[in-house]
Structure 1
Amino acid sequence: MSPKAEISLAHNGRVRITTFNVWTSWKISLLLMLRYGFFRWGTYIPPITDEAIHPSYYRLKLKIHAGWDSWCGYDWLAENEATDNFLKFFYQKHFKK
């Protein structure tokens, strides 16, 4: 059984994958970098209150924002329509039962 992750639409209408499981967050991160060729760039802002901002993932025209907050857990948010499609594919391949 795959670790728990959920896919939904964020408030801005973009696709978002979320999980509260730290091991699932590592799985997603490692898959994005090692299997799909994303690199990370940006500033890490630690969780001083109830949210953190992690470096984003980049590959060609794809950009995925990453972060953590106490309400949603770890999350990966698409930047554009191409990234929406990629995250849908990614979720279906790695987390759909």
Structure 2
Amino acid sequence: MDGFTVFMLAIICVGLPVTLGIGGEMFKSWMRHKETMATALNAQTAEKAAQYAAHTERLEQRVRVLERLATDRGIAVADDIERLRDARPVN
């Protein structure tokens, strides 16, 4: 065997496992990062969904009140509206 063949064999026998080991660790680190980002995104999405659900519930309550005002009584509607306007929480 000549010197070049021995050199290439040494590069393959030593360099390839080292390169694959470093590449494997980089891939594991990248996967951990992606999992962390996915967890954070899931938490953020769940929080937004809860906020939207709460907002929807408030809107449904307001619609129920308006439906009740429109269908139950016709005489005291203005008084009920004024009373609701005074009782409305300030955001």
Range of TM-score over shorter length: under 0.3
Q: Higher relative contact order at CA 8 Å, sep ≥6: structure 1 or structure 2?
A: 1
TM-score normalised per structure 1: 0.23
More helix by share: 2
When Rg is computed on C-alpha atoms for both structures, the one with the higher figure is: 2
TM-score normalised per structure 2: 0.24
